[in-house]
């Protein structure tokens, strides 16, 4: 892949979780379809639910029930959906293909990496080790700071925990809010087209880079470090 420019090498790469590092949509969808089953309704097709996964309860309940926050009945569905999801959050969730190799290459190159997600800590904390991400340099959940993405506060907190200036970090995500947060934090932003991507076409997000696979991100990192590239990134 040819990249239009070669930015400065990052000291850290921060990642969104759902739809970026991990394919968690199957378990999120199963929880919302349990809600439908409780009400004698047919399951919502997975193809309709998957693109909304990065939006959490708002996306899933919106797709399955046509309700939004503030609508009558939404809050009760949200609370029960949380309970169902927490009871069975890793039956079918896995890392996307190429993510383990990407993270290994980043770590072996001496670049820090961490997770900044809007997922609440009640889910993030138990899920992370179940899907093999417990070696993250930092984990910032949706309720770690006073604001969630697209506010930059969670990204600033991730950089702070890594001890690295925000301007020396990249942020990688699969939702418009991720790119908005990354830009607001002064980070290089990477939109990952392998994720869920939501309703807005990723080409419209204004990300610095739009990549198709985790391997593309590894290739982009190689271009930033040039002759100093460690063997892990050059392999």
Catalytic residues: 16
**Residue written as token pair 């947060």:** 181
- In the three-class reduction of DSSP (H, G, I as helix; E, B as strand; rest coil), residue 57 is classed as helix
As given in the structure block, the two tokens for residue 91 are 């039956």
Fill in the DSSP letter of residue 205.
Answer: S
Report CA 30 to chain centroid distance, whole Å. Answer: 19
Burial of 157: CB neighbours in 10 Å, binned 0-12, 13-18, 19+: buried
Residues sharing a CB contact under 8 Å with residue 204, sequence separation 6 or more, in sequence order: none
- Please confirm whether the linkage preceding 72 is cis (ω < 30° from 0): no
What is the per-residue burial (b if ≥16 Cβ within 10 Å, else e) of 181-216? bbbbbbbbbbbbebbbbbeeebeebebbbbbebbbb
Interatomic CA distance for residues 151 and 48, integer angstroms: 27
Interatomic CA distance for residues 33 and 123, integer angstroms: 18
Q: What is the largest CA-CA distance in the chain?
A: 62
């Amino acid at each position: 892949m040819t990249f239009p420019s070669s930015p400065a090498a990052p000291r850290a790469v921060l990642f969104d979780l759902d739809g970026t590092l991990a394919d968690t949509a199957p378990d999120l969808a199963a929880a919302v379809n349990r809600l439908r089953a409780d009400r004698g309704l047919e399951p919502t097709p997975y193809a309709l639910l998957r693109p909304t996964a990065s939006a959490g309860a708002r996306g899933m309940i919106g797709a399955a029930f046509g309700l939004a926050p503030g609508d009558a009945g939404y809050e009760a569905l949200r609370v029960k959906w949380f309970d169902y999801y927490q009871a069975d959050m890793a039956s079918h969730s896995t890392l996307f293909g190429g993510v383990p190799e990407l993270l290994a290459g980043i770590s072996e190159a001496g670049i820090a990496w961490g997770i900044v997600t809007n997922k609440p800590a009640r889910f993030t904390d138990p899920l992370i080790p179940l899907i093999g991400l417990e070696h993250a340099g930092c984990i910032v959940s949706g309720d770690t700071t006073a604001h969630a993405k697209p506010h930059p506060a969670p990204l600033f907190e991730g950089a702070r925990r890594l001890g690295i200036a925000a301007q020396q970090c990249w942020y990688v995500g699969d939702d418009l809010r991720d790119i908005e947060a990354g830009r607001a934090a002064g980070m290089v932003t990477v939109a990952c087209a392998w994720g869920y991507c939501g309703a807005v076409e990723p080409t419209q997000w204004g990300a610095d880079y739009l990549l198709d696979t985790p391997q593309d991100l590894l290739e982009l990192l190689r271009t930033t470090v040039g002759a100093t590239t460690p063997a892990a990134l050059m392999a």
